[in-house]
Structure 1
Amino acid sequence: MSRTVVITGATSGIGRAAAREFAGRGDRLVLAARSPATLAEVRQECRSAGAEVLVVPTDITEPGAVDELARAAVAEFGGIDVWVHTAAVAAYGRFDELPERVFERVVRVDLIAAAAVARVALRHYRSASAGTLILTGSVLGHITSPYMSGYVAAKWGLQGLARTLQQEARETPGVHVCLVNPGSVDTPVYRQAANYLGRIGRPPPPITTPERVARAIVHGADRPRREISVGRLNVVMRFGFTVLPGLYDVLVGPLMRVAGLSNQPVAPHDGIAFTPNPAGEAVRGGWLPDLSRVVRSVGGATSTVGSAVLRRLR
C-alpha cells in the first residue's frame, strides 16, 4: 500500500536520495526545500520512477511555513503517513571566530526548525492516531568535533529532543519517532557549508553513500525503530568518546585536521546558511569514486592488457 511521504530538505544529499527511494516504491511524495528550480528537477526524477509528486518551495525557518506545507500535503493527498526531515546546514570555524549570526543560523535550521517540523507532524499524527516522524541526526549528536560547534550543538539538541518525543509518543501507540544517525556521508553539505576556517571541509573516512542512508530511512518508515545508526565506525567513536574521553580529546583535533579538512583554501563565506545554492545541489558530493566508471575503466584496461598479451603470445 502506498503512503504519503513528506520530505523536508529534498533537493540535495540524503533528502534527495530518500525521495528517489520512496518514489521507486510507489509512495506519494510531498517535497519541500528552498530552491524551486531544484525541486522541479527532483519532481521529474521521482515522476519518472512512477510516483505522484507535489513540490512546495519552503523555508522551514519562516514562521508558519511548516504549517502551510502540512496543509498543502493534506489538501493534495488527504493526509500524511510519514514525514522525513533531512534539511540541515553546517559551518566550519573556531567557535570564537565564527560570526554569531552564522552560529545561530545553524542552530536555527538544524534544531529549531526541526522542532517546528516535529511539532506540526506530531499534532497531525495525534489527531489521526498514526504516523511516523523520521528525523535525521548525526553521529555528531553523540560525540564532538572541533571547528563545527554550531552543527554539533544542534545535533546534540536534536538527540535530546528526539528522545523526549519518543517518550511522549508512548501515549499514542500508532505514532512513531525515529532518529537516523549517519556518520560520514558523500553529500554536498561539506562544500556548501559556511566556512570561516580557511580550508574546505570533507567527510572523514570511512564514507558511506546517501543512497545507503536513504535505504535506512525507508526501512525506518517500514519498521519504525528509536534510532538507526549508519556508519561502520559510529559505535567505535561513541565508545571512545564515552569511555576514553581524555584520549579522545587528544586525538580528535589532529584527526579532524588531517581527515576532516581538505587542503583546498577558501575565503570566509556563509555558504548556504542563509541562501540556497542550486548549482551545488545534488545527491552525491563527489567524495567517493564513481564505481561504475571505475569498473568500466578497469574493464577497459584489462581488455587492453589482455589484447597486448595475446599479441605477444602470437
Structure 2
Amino acid sequence: MPSARKKPLDQQVIVITGASSGIGLATARMAAERGAKVVLAARNGEALAEIQGDIARSGGEAFHVVTDVSDRSQVEALARAVIDRYGRIDTWVNDAGLSIIGRLEDVEDADHRRLFDVNFWGLVYGSLVALPHLKKSRGTLINLGSVASDVAFPLQGMYSASKHAIKGFTDSLRIELKEEGAPVAVTLIKPAAIDTPFPAHARNYTDREPKLPPPVYRTEEVAEAIVHAAEYPRRDIYVGGGGRIMSAAQAVAPRVFDAVGSGMAGLQMRDDPPRRPEGSLYETGVGGRTRGSHPGYVMRRSLYTRSALHPLTTAAVVAGVGFAAAASLMGGSRHR
C-alpha cells in the first residue's frame, strides 16, 4: 500500500547519490524538469559540474557536492552542504553502486570489500545521515535495490549479496521507523536489467566484455519510479515485469530457478574482449551518460511498473477499452 502523499515535487529538495551517470543522472534531470531542487552527489566532480550547468541552462535548479559514499564523513559533509544551502532535505535517494563480473572464487578480497563499501555501506551511511533531516521534513528515503535483492546471478555473486543486504537493511529500518512513529516513508526500488553504463563500470575478471541479460529496460523507467515515489511513496517498486516474474519464480520454485539461473552466465557476456576491465571500482568512470551500449532490444516502457504506480488510471483505461469493445460488438450486432 502507498504511504500518505508527500510534498509536491516542485516544492522538494532532493539529494541523489550516484548522480553522475545512469539511473542517478536520469533521475536528477527528471526531478529538475519537474521543479525539484536537486543536489547531485558522486565521485566525478567534472561530470557533476557539467550536469549542474546543463540543468541550469534548461531552467532547473541544482548544485553538486563531490562525494565518495563509502566514506561516512563525506556523506555527512554532503548533508551539511544541503542544509546550509536549503535548510532541509525532503527526499534522499541512495543510488550509488557498481558491480564486479567474475566467479566468486576468482575475485580478490579487496575488490569484494570495496564493492560492499560502496553498494551497502554507502547506502547505510546515506540512510542514517539523512534520517534526522527527513524526520524534520516528514520526508522520503529511497534506496536502490535490484531484482538481485530477491534472486542471485552467476558472475555477479557479490553484487547480488550486496543487494540482498540492502533489502534486509531497508526492511529493518522501515520497521524500526514505524515502531518509533517517525513520519519518514521508506521505498525500495528493484530494477530489472537497465540500459545504463553499468556493465562498462563493472570490474571485469573475465576475458569478455559484459552485457545485460534480457529483458532490458530504459533508464528513464527507473527514474520515473523514483520521482513518483518521492511524492507518492510505496514500500517496494519493481521496475520491469521481467524482474517481477523472476522474483516470483525464485520464491515459488527456487531449485528450478537455480537451474535456469545457471544458464544466465552466457547471457551476460559479449563475444568481444573486455574494453576497460578495471572498471570504476576505484577510479571514476565516464560520466554524463544515462544510457549504456546494450547490443539488443531495450524495452521503452514497463507496462507492469506503470500499472503498479498508477493502478486507478490503468483500471480506467482497461475499463474504457472494454466498454469500447463491448459497444462496438453491440453496434455490430444491431446491423446484422
| Equivalent residue in structure 1 for 2:115, among 74, 83, 106 | 106
Q: TM-score, normalised by structure 2?
A: 0.82
Offset of 1:172 from its aligned partner?
Answer: 3.2
Equivalent of 2:192 in 171, 183, 193: 183
Give the superposition deviation at 1:93. Answer: 0.6
Alignment check: 8 A CA contact 1:184 1:204 kept: yes
1:160 corresponds to which of 168, 173, 177: 168
Counterparts of 1:212-231 in structure 2, within 5 Å, are 212-231=221-240
Give the conservation status (yes or no) of the 8 Å contact 1:188–1:281: no
**In the alignment, which residue of structure 2 is the partner of 1:57?**
66
- Tell me whether 1:210 sits opposite 2:194 in the alignment: no
Query: Mapping of 1:127-206 within 5 angstroms?
Result: 128=136, 130-170=138-178, 171-206=180-215
- In 2, distance between residues paired with 1:203 and 1:86? 18
- Between the aligned residues of both structures, percent identity stands at 35
Deviation at 1:134, TM superposition (A): 0.5
Counterpart for residue 7 of structure 2: none
Q: Residues 16-53 of structure 1: CA distance to partner in whole angstroms, max 9, x if unpaired?
A: 00001101111111111001110012112221332221
* 3-state secondary structure, aligned to 1:64: helix
State the aligned residue count: 289
Following superposition of structure 1 onto structure 2, how do residues 67-106 of structure 1 map, counting pairs within 5 Å?
A: 67-106=76-115
Structure-1 separation of matches of 2:298 and 2:111 = 33
Matching residue of 1:296 = none
**Contact 2:216/2:297 (<8 A) preserved:** no
Secondary structure at 1:233 match in 2: helix
Q: In the alignment, is the contact (CA less than 8 A) between 2:35 and 2:60 conserved in 1?
A: yes
The answer to whether the 8 Å contact 1:196/1:267 transfers is: no
Q: Map Cα deviations across residues 107-143 of structure 1 (whole Å, 9 max, x no partner).
A: 11100111000000112223x1511110111000100
CA distance in 1, matches of 2:12, 2:194: 27
1:254–1:290 CA distance, 2 compared to 1 (3 A)? closer
Q: Secondary structure of 1:125's partner? A: helix
Q: SS at 2:238's partner residue?
A: strand
Whether the 8 Å CA contact 1:26–1:50 is kept in 2: the answer is no
Aligned to 2:38: 29
Given that residues 89 and 137 in structure 2 are in contact (C-alpha distance below 8 angstroms), is that contact kept between their aligned partners in structure 1? no
Unpaired segments ≥5 residues, structure 2: 1-9, 301-336
Aligned CA RMSD, in angstroms, stands at: 1.9
Alignment check: 8 A CA contact 1:18 1:217 kept: yes
